Amino acid sequence: MIEKLNAICYTLNAMNKMYGLIFDVDGVIADTEAVNAKVSIKVFADLFGVEGVVREDFEAGLGRGAEEYVKAAARVHGMELTDEQVRQATRLRQEYFLNILSKEPLPPFPGVLELMEKAMQAEDFRVAIATSGTLEKSRAVLNAAGVPYQKMVYINGNDVTHKKPDPELFLLAAERIGIDPANCVVIEDAPNGVQAARAAGARCIAVTNSTNSKKLSEADLICDSLEQVKLNMIQELIDSN
């Protein structure tokens, strides 16, 4: 009788279980990393007179916010920027970024909108956007990619004090959707983001849009496209925890 009651309780708990799905923006929803690198290279040339900066120079700053993104390339080129120089660079970087976005299309990566829509329609899922990017910059990306972020919890870099790999961003997202981090999956594209998701106590699916699978090895699951990810896979990943 006790075993039967336990089985019934387990079934009821499973039926009532809620799952959280948290999306990063840059490099997950659309290929913003190519634009980020393009405008940042221009900033180094225009503001500091530094030529020869390449996309790979920014890799250590991926997912850590604009300031760390700029500092990463500066370190590669032996530069020690002052706080004011970093502020100037990030302001100009955002200006260039928004200018490009106003002129050029930014289509979403394959599968991302479909996965969002299915999760939003599912009764046992809650969906959030969580990005280190500023409100203005991330909102421009979401609008350009056609993401219905108004229907989701939306956390951006303006809402937090600490950037990735600190878990604050994802802990706040989980809190806002009312789901324990252990029952959430974060979708990321950068090593710092994967570390932040794990530090928050969430599971992580990494997509190789911005870097290779070797650098994303701390993720629970690695894929080449979100077309490969289904809701039942997310549920199984969480339930196996």
- 35 vs 100: CA distance, rounded Å: 8
Query: In the prediction, which pLDDT does 9 show?
Result: 41
Q: Which fold has domain 13-31+106-239?
A: Rossmann fold (3.40.50)
Residues of the chain below pLDDT 70: 1-15
Query: In the prediction, which pLDDT does 165 show?
Result: 94
Q: What is the rounded (10 degree) CA torsion for 198, 202, 206, 211?
A: -30
Query: In the prediction, which pLDDT does 239 show?
Result: 97
Query: In the prediction, which pLDDT does 126 show?
Result: 98
Looking at the chain, the whole-number percentage of residues with pLDDT higher than 70 is: 94
Query: In the prediction, which pLDDT does 12 show?
Result: 41
Reference 93, options 132, 45, 54; nearest CA is 45
Distances (CA, A) of 142 to 31, 36, 113, 181, 189: 12, 15, 11, 24, 16
Identify the residue whose tokens are 């290929």.
31
Give residue limits of the domains in the chain: 13-31+106-239, 33-101
Q: Which CATH architecture has domain 33-101?
A: Orthogonal Bundle (1.10)
126 and 19 Cβ atoms separated by less than 8 Å:
yes
195 and 218 Cβ atoms separated by less than 8 Å:
yes
Query: In the prediction, which pLDDT does 3 show?
Result: 54
Query: In the prediction, which pLDDT does 15 show?
Result: 58
**Residue pLDDT, tens place only, 171-211:** 999 999 999 999 999 999 999 999 999 999 999 999 999 99
**Three-state DSSP class for residue 147:** coil
β-partners of residue 207 are 223
